[in-house]
């Protein structure tokens, strides 16, 4: 639905946006989250009318969620009897009766402790009801609790944590181009108008502006109260409702565009470049790898995860190089590290070519590819430049190389 707004004698086009409610599993697409802290107390709240049977060591808390003028409260009870499994109860229907709600998921997981040994973290989820003006909607919250015996987290023993697993999802069209979009209530407030009286609303609009099927956390995420630039035009959101309906209008302000990262998903095209390798040779990528499958490997000698991954990389190189597999390393090492890099690659049996310009994170090819974390690997068809595998590592690396080489050998 489109409308035309007139303001200050300037024609501004407004698009009314209605995204679809996603009650659960938004986290699978969002990646990160902002944990919310719920203080627990041994004092029984007035909202609790009927308790679960046989509570031994209950702690109580109430999550506020809903319209900011009058948020609802979701009662949570955590029972941690000594030597017995932890139990969680959530008053999903908000009637004060904890015996008529579906049992939340609540599992114990062993993890390495900060000070050595093992610790237990309890994690689960539960559905809640958010009361919007148009009626209630189901929404899932993920909850977790640190081990009460973990001395390194003693300051958190009066708390559990939760975050939203719901969002709004759909498409948003800007300048004739459709973008996959999500509207996210990061603070799990249950009101998409966000917090009042603060600069950051707590509500984010995510736009997949490069079409790679992901949301870049830095370049494709925008606070709903601030103007943002997509495709050279500055936009802003207007008339946001508590349940996440809004208009997009062209802003009177102008802000700089954060260029989206390149689309490096499987099936996209790798970005061509020409550079000098550490042995002084010129390499033209991907043209110099005709008839081959080549892996771009962004890494550095100072990078712990890169070193952990290295035996996997060298083993796969030894196995598949005779079949037409090559690697081109892009080193993000610090300035004046050329000797260190040469020594390291020789000692670690890394005979493939390396590109190093001494600019660390600002390395030209890393900037060209929008690399913000390493190790980062791309498997590329040397003939077509097509990306055959994106950020493949660990157990995914070998089958990805094998599949890529099989595709090269298959009749066209």
So where are the chain's domains? Answer: 2-21+167-250, 36-164, 273-409
Note the pLDDT of residue 9. 33
Note the pLDDT of residue 133. 83
| C-alpha angle 368-295-211 in degrees, rounded to nearest 5 | 50
| Angle of the 304-320 helix axis to the 397-409 helix axis, nearest 10 | 30
Q: pTM (2 decimals)?
A: 0.73
CATH of domain 273-409: 3.40.30.10
Contacts of 117 (CB under 8 A, 6+ apart): none
- CA dist 128 → 31, 75, 195, 299 (Å): 21, 10, 20, 44
Q: What is the largest CA-CA distance in the chain?
A: 77
Note the pLDDT of residue 111. 79
Read off the pLDDT of residues 11-23 as tens digits, 9 standing for 90 and up.
Answer: 456 788 889 999 9
Tokens for 354, please give them.
Answer: 């390396």
Per the CB < 8 A criterion, the answer to whether 86 and 78 are in contact is: yes
Read off the pLDDT of residues 101-135 as tens digits, 9 standing for 90 and up.
Answer: 999 999 998 877 666 678 889 999 999 999 888 88
Q: Kindly report whether the peptide bond that precedes residue 403 is cis, defined as omega within 30 degrees of 0.
A: no
Per the CB < 8 A criterion, the answer to whether 183 and 193 are in contact is: no
Reading across the β-sheet that carries 167-174, which strands appear in turn? 20-22, 167-174, 177-185, 203-207, 221-223
Tokens for 49, please give them.
Answer: 């009318």
Note the pLDDT of residue 1. 34
Residue ranges of the chain whose pLDDT lies below 50: 1-11, 412
383 phi/psi in degrees, rounded to 5 = -85, -50
Q: Report DSSP letters for 243-281, one per residue.
A: TS-EEEEE-SS-----PPPP--STTSBPPPEEEE-TTS-
Q: What is the C-alpha to C-alpha distance for residues 287 and 122, in angstroms, rounded to an integer?
A: 52
Contacts of 407 (CB under 8 A, 6+ apart): 381, 388
Note the pLDDT of residue 5. 38
DSSP state of 91: -
Tokens for 181, please give them.
Answer: 């979009």
Note the pLDDT of residue 373. 86
């Amino acid at each position: 639905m489109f409308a035309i707004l007139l303001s200050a004698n300037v024609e501004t086009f407004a698009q009314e946006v209605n995204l679809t409610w996603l009650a659960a599993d938004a986290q699978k697409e969002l990646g990160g989250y902002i944990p919310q802290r719920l203080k627990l107390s041994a004092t029984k709240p007035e909202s609790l009318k009927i308790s679960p049977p046989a509570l031994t060591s209950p702690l109580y808390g109430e999550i506020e969620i809903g319209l900011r003028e009058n948020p609802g409260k979701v009662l949570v009870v955590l029972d941690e009897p000594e030597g017995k499994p932890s139990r969680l109860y959530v008053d999903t229907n908000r009637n004060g009766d904890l015996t008529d709600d579906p049992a939340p998921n609540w599992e114990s997981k062993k993890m390495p402790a900060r000070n050595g040994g093992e610790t237990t973290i309890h994690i689960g989820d539960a559905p809640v009801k958010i009361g919007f003006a148009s009626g209630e909607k189901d929404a899932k919250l993920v909850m977790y609790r640190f081990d009460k015996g973990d001395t390194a987290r003693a300051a958190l023993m009066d708390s559990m944590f939760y975050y939203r697993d719901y969002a709004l999802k759909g498409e948003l069209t800007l300048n004739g181009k459709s973008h996959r979009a999500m509207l996210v209530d990061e603070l799990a407030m249950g009101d998409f108008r966000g917090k009042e009286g603060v600069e950051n609303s707590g509500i984010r609009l995510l736009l997949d502006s490069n079409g790679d099927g992901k949301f870049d956390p830095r370049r494709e995420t925008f606070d709903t109260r601030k103007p943002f630039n997509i495709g050279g035009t500055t936009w802003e959101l207007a008339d946001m409702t508590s349940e996440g309906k809004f208009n997009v209008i062209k802003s009177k302000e102008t802000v700089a565009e954060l260029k989206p990262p390149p689309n490096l998903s499987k099936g996209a095209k790798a970005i061509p470049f020409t550079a000098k390798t550490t042995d002084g040779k010129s390499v033209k990528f991907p043209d110099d790898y005709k008839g081959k499958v080549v892996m771009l490997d962004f890494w550095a000698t100072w990078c712990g995860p890169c070193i952990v991954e290295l035996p996997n990389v060298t083993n796969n190189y030894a196995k598949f190089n005779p079949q037409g597999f090559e690697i081109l390393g892009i080193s993000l090492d610090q300035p004046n590290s050329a000797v260190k890099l040469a020594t390291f690659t020789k000692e670690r049996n890394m005979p493939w070519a390396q590109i190093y310009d001494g600019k660390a994170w600002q390395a030209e090819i890393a900037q060209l590819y929008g690399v913000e974390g390493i190790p980062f690997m791309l498997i590329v068809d040397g003939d077509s430049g097509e990306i055959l595998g994106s950020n493949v590592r660990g157990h995914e690396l070998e089958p990805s190389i094998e599949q890529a080489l099989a595709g090269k050998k298959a009749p066209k």
